[in-house]
Structure 1
Amino acid sequence: MLNVPSNFAEVKKKKAVFHGIQSWEEPTLTEWRPDNYRLMCANLGNEVTDDVLSKAFSRFPTFNMAKVVRDKRTGKTKGYGFVSFSNPLDQAAALEEMHGKYVGNRPIQLRKSN
């Protein structure tokens, strides 16, 4: 007998296939307000935590939160994370001012998140 999780229907709905490549919806996206403006932060080292990322962007007035995506099994960073702002002007300012700046041991790469 197969051990099927109780939320199997929900899990199945979150999976989509595009040209043979599976795409999964990140479950932590429900933690983010839909009316926020997010930036994807790439090239993050393992030393970067949510707090480190938050401190790097906290000088922008409408900064809300930061999240570093980590591997559930190893706890190591997957090399990217997200920051959110309430105002699109702060998002644009952060994108312009912080792109290429060092956060931790590496220069951060930024782009608008969908």
Structure 2
Amino acid sequence: MRRVQVSRNSETGISRGCGHVTMSSVDEAKTAISALDASDVGGREMRVTFAADMNKAPEAFGSVPKKNLIFESPHKIYVGNLAHSVKPSDLRNLFSLFGTVVSSRVLHDSKSGKNRVYGFISFSSSVELENAISLDGTDFCGRKLLVREVLNNNKP
């Protein structure tokens, strides 16, 4: 392992629940993925995958993408505390009230076959994103939404 970076809220310093680890080799990374992916950490399933540079062929990492890539704009929000029944189209319909939804996705757990309780929405502008955050705490499908901006550390 060469480097570990935990993603944290810049205001509170609290972990966002994800991070990046740079390994010394592809084989070392494959071993870590095999050992840790889908393991339980504090009651939550940990996802461990390659963060591949999309300019490189995925075959270099020993796998080919199984899904179509989804374009996500830099104007992205996290939507948490979703009901398991919520579909990407449900989120798109709800958040399109604030402007152009570039993409909407709800993460899916391949092991359980259920949707996870969070997703992501990308907008075409920062104004739309800021307006959409107003839905934080709103009841949707019997649950109070948690809506947060996804901070992109690569922004200028």
TM-score (norm 1): 0.70
Contact 1:56 1:103 in 2 (8 A): no
Tell me by how many angstroms 1:75 deviates.
2.1
Q: 4+ residue runs of structure 1 moved beyond 2 angstroms? A: 21-28
Q: Distance in 1 between matches of 2:47 and 2:143?
A: 30
Determine which structure has greater relative contact order: mean sequence separation of CA pairs < 8 Å that are 6+ residues apart, divided by chain length: 1
Tell me by how many angstroms 1:103 deviates.
2.0
Contact 1:98 1:108 in 2 (8 A): yes
The structure that is helix-richer by fraction is 1
Of the candidates 23, 28, 32, which is equivalent to residue 71 of structure 2?
A: 32
Aligned residue in 2 for 1:94: 132
Of the candidates 79, 101, 114, which is equivalent to residue 117 of structure 2?
A: 79
Listed one character per residue, the Cα deviations across residues 6-53 of structure 1 (whole Å, up to 9, x for unaligned) are xxx49x38x79xxxx98544987x5233x4310000101111111111
Unpaired runs of 5+ residues, structure 1, are 1-8
Q: Percent identity?
A: 25
Give aligned pairs, total. Answer: 99
Cα gap change, 1:45/1:62 in structure 2, threshold over 3 Å: closer, same or farther? Answer: same
Unpaired runs of 5+ residues, structure 2, are 1-25, 34-45, 53-64, 152-156
